[in-house]
Amino acid sequence: MKNGELVSCNDRDITLNQNSWCRFDGALTLPDISGFSLFNAFFFRDFPADVLDKLQSASTLRNYKKNTVIINLGDDSQAAYLIVDGSAYAYTDDENGNEYIVNSFGPGDCFGELGLLDGKPRTAHVVTTTPCECLVIPKADFQRCIFATPEAASATIRSLTGRIRTMTDDVSCLAMLDVYGRIARLIKNSSQETTDGKRVTSRMTHQEIANRIGSSREMVSKIVKDLIVGGYIATDKQKIYLLKDLPERW
């Protein structure tokens, strides 16, 4: 497959080579992807360049519609996923249908890699919250690169160690912070600075916030409304804008 070559695809899957990228529109042209590589993903940023080239060559670009379940809890682990465009979240649920969001993903985030390392089934569902383009990395190629390359194995250990630290903080906050404290922490940690200096979160419904912090939608709505009235935040199209520092307690 060469740059500029017109190709057809089945089920919206396109095998990539290390110098090509594409978007699905029926028949498609493969432009140069100098603006994107696995190196842009946090999980892979410390991998050797030759390892990233091999992984990207073996990977497939797949498009998912909004509200598509990419992974089901208990599934066999056959691939890792890197979000190129769009967003998704991982969640667990109980027999009553109550959900708890354990992580959220945006462009450059990787998920599904844990099952490739230990060979065990998936531990959470993953569903898209917008239309998504994902780079799908096959299990065999992922394992081959990790297990055969000490630098890649070391980078993986560092990444997973950081994730464990974050999970420890999250569990501590669930146990030690009240609902307001958990909401404030989520808003601050989820917000990013825009080009005009404002801090804004990605789109989150009140139900999604409740699912992430272990609370009810009604309680979240009440606190968000109070913060708006107090002039601390503003909301627009389900995004939260930080107008000033949030108080330690409410």
The secondary structure of 175-190 as a DSSP string is: HHS-HHHHHHHHHHHH
Residue where the block lists tokens 């029926």: 26
What stretch of H or E contains 102? strand 99-105
Binned at pLDDT 50, 70 and 90, residue 236 comes out as very high
Q: What is the pLDDT of residue 36?
A: 58
- pLDDT of 214: 85
Average pLDDT over residues 134-156: 92
Q: Is pLDDT at 16 greater than 80 in this prediction?
A: no
Residue 248 lies in a domain: no
- pLDDT, average across residues 33-60: 81
> Do 166 and 183 fall into the same domain?
no
- Mark whether 166 and 182 lie in a shared domain: no
In a domain, 1, yes or no: no
Helix (H) or strand (E) holding 133: strand 132-138
Among 129, 111, 95, 92, smallest CA distance to 43 is for 111
Question: Does residue 41 sit in the same domain as residue 122?
Answer: yes
- Residue 126: strand pairing partners: 71, 90
Q: Which domain holds residue 217?
A: 178-242
> Is pLDDT above 70 for 31?
no
143, part of any domain? yes
Q: Tell whether the model's pLDDT for residue 34 goes beyond 80.
A: no
Q: What is the pLDDT of residue 71?
A: 95
Question: What mean pLDDT do residues 76-99 have?
Answer: 90
Q: What is the dihedral of CA 248, 87, 217, 187, to 10 degrees?
A: 10
| Residue 241, beta-bridge partner list | 200, 234
Q: Are 84 and 127 contained in the same domain?
A: yes
Q: What's the token pair of residue 31?
A: 């432009």
pLDDT at 212: 86
Helix axes of 217-229 and 179-190: crossing angle, nearest 10 degrees: 70
Query: Quick one: which H or E segment has residue 61?
Result: strand 60-64
Joined together, the tokens standing for residue 141 give 């190629």
Phi and psi, residue 117, nearest 5°: -85, -35
More confident residue, 42 or 81: 81
Provide the number of structural domains found in the chain: 2
If asked whether residues 28 and 43 sit together in one domain, one would say: yes
Query: Average pLDDT in the 8-32 region?
Result: 36
**Is the predicted pLDDT of residue 101 greater than 70, yes or no?**
yes
> Is residue 219 classed exposed, middle or buried when 0-12, 13-18 and 19+ CB atoms within 10 A define those classes?
middle
Residue 19: per-residue pLDDT? 35
What is d(CA 165, CA 171) in angstroms, rounded to the nearest whole number?
A: 10
For the chain, the distance separating the N- and C-terminal CA atoms, rounded to the nearest angstrom, is 59
